[in-house]
Amino acid sequence: MSSWVMALMLGVSLCIGFLGLVAFLWGLKNGQFDDKEKMMRGVLFDGIEDLNSADVSNKNTQAKRQGV
């Protein structure tokens, strides 16, 4: 390949990469990747076993803090 084709390919790929980076940073700034509702819905659908094990773990932690 000739050098001008390589330079053109490099320039185009750098421009596309820069545009992708700008789009990603814009999305971060505007909260496009925040999904607070998903986390809240996840709490609603926890199974009984998960809730029981979390309760036991919480009680064990509190007992250790109190020195029982």
| 22 pLDDT tier (thresholds 50, 70, 90) | very high
**What's the pTM value of the predicted model, to 2 decimals?**
0.52
- The mean pLDDT of 37-63, rounded to a whole number, is 78
- Interior/surface letters 11-45, b for 16+ CB within 10 angstroms, e for the rest: eeeeeeeeeeeeeeeeeeeeeeeeeeeeeeeeeee
Asked whether the predicted pLDDT for residue 26 surpasses 90, the reply is yes
| 33 pLDDT tier (thresholds 50, 70, 90) | confident
- Cα separation, 56 vs 68, in Å, equals 15
